[in-house]
Structure 1
Amino acid sequence: MTAVAPDAGPRRRGGAGLRLRRAAVGWGFALPFTALLLVFLAGPVLASLLMSFTDLRSADLRTPFAVNVVGLENYARLFGDELFVRAAVNTAIFVLVGVPLTMVAGLAAALGLNSGLTRFRTVFRVGYYLPVVSSIVAIAVVWRFLLQPDSGLLNSLLGLVGVEGPSWLQRSDLALPSLIVMAAWRNLGYQMVIFLAGLQAIPQHLYEAARIDGASPWQQFRYVTLPSLRPTLLFVGVIATIGYLQFFEEPLVMTRGGPLNSTLSVSYHIYSQFGFGNYGYASAMSYLLFVVIVLLTILWFRLLRSTEEVSR
């Protein structure tokens, strides 16, 4: 007598229904956030992309159907705009000087805390990191007063040793370097914490083997520390580059882009164009800046990819 297998159809249908109900419950919980994301983030991003291909201005908001599609005209116009070119050059200088300066300062502080300081390490961590969590506007206001030519603290200290301090923010050759130094001081604490975590993750037996082989401290740093910090350098470099490409609060609060547009950044120029009502042109600037950020991020990944990926 042969046994008859039980019908698995109802069980399969019941399992499928249970999975469907669970998925519906999950999407129900995610629906409010998804709706907010689409309405307040994805929607405006898509609208600004479409806007960059039009000649939309503030006067056209009442008659949106009168807006003309200009294609790539806004993007082509950027390269002939002397003000935008000046802002792009200032931003490039800010990134090319500021990012390495901040990374070197952050790594130096991390090396000092990791090797030389053990008792008050937490105190120094908090001290270095405090500017990172402080308001950038407040920091910019404080630095603006510190760099005042007559009553600023920096020039007062220089006066004590007989040196007449310059007008740091009123001279076109000193304003941008002053902002770079301020940005490096503010951001080195964040990078220090990241570098310190990376240094503490390096196995100590690598240093012991290097010392047994007779490696000097510089050789240990070059052949053990730096290769082991490759993922940390990649993360810090990408984050710093993205942030510095969008520097905005410093010129807004401290210099208003002056003197003579020497501190005008791309982000500040975009902000000004939106304020003037040139919405299509400002959107084109924004997406050109986005493309540059993507390209530089890819470059960082190409430069600091792991040795396993390079061998492939």
Structure 2
Amino acid sequence: MDQTEKVVSTAPNLRAKTSKNLLTPKTAPYAFIGPAFLLILIFTVYPVISSFILSFHEVRGVEKSFVGLANYVRLFHDPIFYKSLVNTFQILIVQVPIMIFLSLLISVGLHSSMVKGKAFFRISYFMPAITALVAASIVFMILLDEHFGLVNYVLSFVGVESIPWLTSPFWAKVSVILVMTWRWTGYNMVIFLAGLQNIPSELYEAASMDGAGRVKQFFMITIPQLKPVFIFTVVMSTIGTLQLFDEPFILTHGGPNSATITITLYLYETGFKFFDFGYASAIAYVLVIITAIVSWIQMKLVGDFEE
């Protein structure tokens, strides 16, 4: 065997030894998480840092100039921003409690042994959460049409006059709340149902032996045992509502007269309609701060309640 053949024959062994040396018990985990970590850096960390830096600049075409805190000062003198903030919190205060209450009510009903066909009802209630929002919004636009909608047609049989669901400031908010409640009630119902299934049945049996009725069991056993579920659903629903965009964008485009414009919708219009990316970035970071403060207040209230 000549020298060339020896080199060729030993090449696979060298590659095998090299790969073994690289993938040691200490380095193997980093090799596996490396690609995912790189993607997070590129598509999450970098945009967050870049948008934060951009919030201190004024963008004109492809040029940007440093303006310091001017975007933030401008934001706190912007009446449309305050309008979007008020609209968002109005929807939040009304929609989240209604949705949580309905989710709990439905989950308790479906958890009962008296209900037949539970799988069908669970799928039916959860289906809106996985339905394409654009298609669902178009259906609701047809149903809520002031002149030809099915909802007003049905209400006319009981003597209710035509309601301007999408053209009145008040009813436009109601329409957005209805669509949000329809979409996310089933999602939270599944979470409550999982919590109900984890409550030990022995607690109810002991309460029954002590003479406690169903109503007392519900308030003395079910509600306290579901406290972690309440915390999770309320906080996550609050964060989701503060980021509300799809429903008002598709149903009302923020109108009429900015009655349904939300913070996220205003951010989108500022950045992608008026191409004021520096100001849009400032709005985004103020929204982050607001979300953090509201979440902290909720967790603080829950902690004080538990004490």
TM-score range, shorter chain: 0.7 to 0.9
C-alpha contact (below 8 Å) 1:231/1:304 kept by paired residues = no
SS at match of 1:22: coil
Answer yes or no: is 1:30 the counterpart of 2:33: yes
Partner of 2:299: 301
Q: Shift of the alpha carbon at 1:116? A: 5.5
| Structure-2 residue corresponding to 1:249 | 246
- Quick one: which of 255, 280, 283 aligns to 1:282? 280
**Which stretch shifts more, 203-212 or 248-257?**
203-212
In structure 2, distance between residues paired with 1:246 and 1:262: 16
8 A Cα contact 2:146 2:163, kept in partner: yes
**Identity in percent:** 37
Give runs of aligned pairs for residues 217-256 of structure 1, distance below 5 A. 217-256=214-253
| SS of the residue 2:257 aligns to | coil
Given residue 132 of structure 2, which amino acid in structure 1 is its aligned partner?
S
**How far apart are the structure 2 equivalents of 1:20 and 1:129?**
45
Looking at structure 1, the residues matched to 301 and 223 of structure 2 have their Cα atoms a distance apart, in angstroms, of 13
Alpha-carbon distance in 1 for matches of 2:304, 2:113: 29
Which segments of structure 1 move beyond 6 Å, counting only runs of 4 or more? 17-20
How many residues get paired? 287
* Alignment-derived partner of residue 53 in structure 2: 50
Letter in 2 for 1:250: E
Q: Aligned to 2:169, what secondary structure does the other structure show?
A: coil
3-state SS in 1 of match to 2:66 = coil
Structure 2 equivalent of residue 206 of structure 1: 203
- Provide, for residues 89-109 of structure 1, a one-character-per-residue CA deviation record: whole Å limited to 9, x for no partner: 000011111111110010010
For normalisation by structure 1, the TM-score amounts to 0.86
Q: Once the two structures are superposed, what CA deviation does each residue of 1:188-208 show, in whole Å capped at 9, x if it has no partner?
A: 001111101111111122222
User: What does 1:46-195 correspond to in 2, within 5 Å?
Assistant: 46-55=49-58, 57-59=59-61, 61=62, 63-64=63-64, 67-70=65-68, 72-115=69-112, 117-195=114-192
Inter-partner Cα distance in structure 1 for 2:42 and 2:236: 27
Contact 1:231 1:306 in 2 (8 A): no
> Equivalent residue of 2:57, what SS?
coil
Q: Could you say if the C-alpha distance between residues 28 and 116 of structure 1 is closer, same or farther in structure 2, counting changes exceeding 3 Å? A: closer
Matched position secondary structure for 1:23 = coil
**Unpaired segments of 5 or more residues in structure 1?**
1-16
CA contact (8 A) 2:109 2:115 kept: no
Q: Could you say what the CA RMSD is over the residues aligned between the two structures, in angstroms?
A: 2.0
Task: With the length of structure 2 as denominator, give the TM-score of the two structures.
Answer: 0.88
| CA displacement at 1:163 relative to structure 2 | 2.2
Q: In structure 2, the residue corresponding to 1:264 is in which secondary structure?
A: coil
